[in-house]
């Protein structure tokens, strides 16, 4: 029995056909991005006040659950505010404080809103690994920063930074740093999207995947 075990230990996993868990950037896939974009695009107008606004939040919640995040609000993932529904999934960290990654989802088209939500879900997947991050991370979607701050999942004095994502699927991604109600804020945005360009067919999944890597780098710098 022991010689057989030693033989198995000396064989590569692919030869043994063992599926080993993968995490980090290796977990990213085009299929995830396309599926999440399609799920949101099927709903059409998801802006606050429309019938599909809450359904959109439910779909995001299910995906964050599948990424093995914990509910951001105690036992719940979602909170309703006067500005719309906020959804947060949490990855517990080693140190104190939290960094919030907030995809600003006004409920418009794929380019203006869907791409950053899909990117957020894929970002959460890269943290589905055994080793916790340096600090806790909240992966959130909300129509606006005001919607999140109306019912923050963590107190502002325990929030190390707020990393917000505007439209990210454009040709050039810019970064802007400021302070928002006493919280350090880093905003990533590729600029406004014209209504005629806000279509699913114009979203390049390869660009979204590349932007996830940039967002992850920015997040790691804040942890």
Report pLDDT digits (tens) over 127-153.
999 999 999 999 999 999 999 999 999
The answer to whether 117 touches 36, Cβ cutoff 8 Å, is yes
Report pLDDT digits (tens) over 58-94.
999 999 999 999 999 999 999 999 999 999 999 999 9
Strands 78-81 and 70-71: unpaired
Q: Confidence band (pLDDT; 50, 70, 90) for 22? A: low
Q: Write down the pLDDT at residue 181.
A: 84
Report pLDDT digits (tens) over 116-130.
999 999 999 999 999
Q: Confidence band (pLDDT; 50, 70, 90) for 8? A: very low
In the predicted structure, residue 20 carries a pLDDT above the cut 70: no
Q: For residue 159, how many other CB atoms are within 10 A of its CB?
A: 20
CA angle (156, 158, 162) in 5-degree steps: 60
Q: Write down the pLDDT at residue 123.
A: 98
The mean predicted confidence, pLDDT, of the chain is: 90
Report pLDDT digits (tens) over 95-121.
999 999 999 999 989 999 999 999 999
Please, is 213 exposed, middle or buried when counting C-beta atoms within 10 Å of its C-beta (0-12, 13-18, 19+)?
middle
Q: State the pTM of this model.
A: 0.89
Report pLDDT digits (tens) over 145-181.
999 999 999 999 999 999 999 999 999 999 999 998 8
Q: Write down the pLDDT at residue 24.
A: 86
In the predicted structure, residue 21 carries a pLDDT above the cut 70: no
Dist CA 191 CA 197 (whole Å): 12
Domains observed in the chain = 22-222 (3.40.630.10)
Dist CA 97 CA 137 (whole Å): 9
């Amino acid at each position: 029995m022991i010689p057989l075990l030693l033989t198995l230990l000396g064989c590569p996993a692919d030869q043994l056909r063992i599926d080993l868990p993968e995490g980090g950037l290796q977990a990213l896939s085009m299929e995830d991005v396309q599926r999440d974009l399609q799920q949101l695009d099927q709903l059409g107008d998801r802006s606050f006040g429309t019938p599909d606004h809450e359904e959109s939040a439910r779909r995001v919640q299910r995906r964050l659950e599948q990424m093995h995040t914990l509910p951001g609000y105690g036992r719940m993932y979602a909170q309703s505010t006067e500005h719309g529904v906020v959804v947060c999934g949490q990855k517990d960290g080693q140190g104190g404080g939290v960094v919030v990654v907030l995809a600003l989802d006004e409920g418009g088209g794929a380019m203006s809103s869907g791409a950053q939500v899909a990117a957020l879900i894929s970002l959460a997947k890269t943290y589905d690994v055994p080793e916790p991050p340096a600090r806790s991370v909240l992966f959130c979607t909300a129509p606006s920063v005001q919607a999140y701050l109306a019912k923050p999942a963590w107190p502002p004095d325990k929030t190390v930074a707020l990393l917000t994502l505007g439209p990210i699927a454009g040709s050039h991604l810019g970064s802007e740093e400021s302070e928002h109600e006493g919280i350090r804020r880093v905003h990533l945005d590729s600029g406004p999207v014209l209504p005629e360009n806000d279509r699913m067919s114009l979203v390049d999944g390869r660009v979204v995947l590349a932007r996830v890597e940039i967002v992850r780098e920015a997040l790691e710098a804040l942890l």
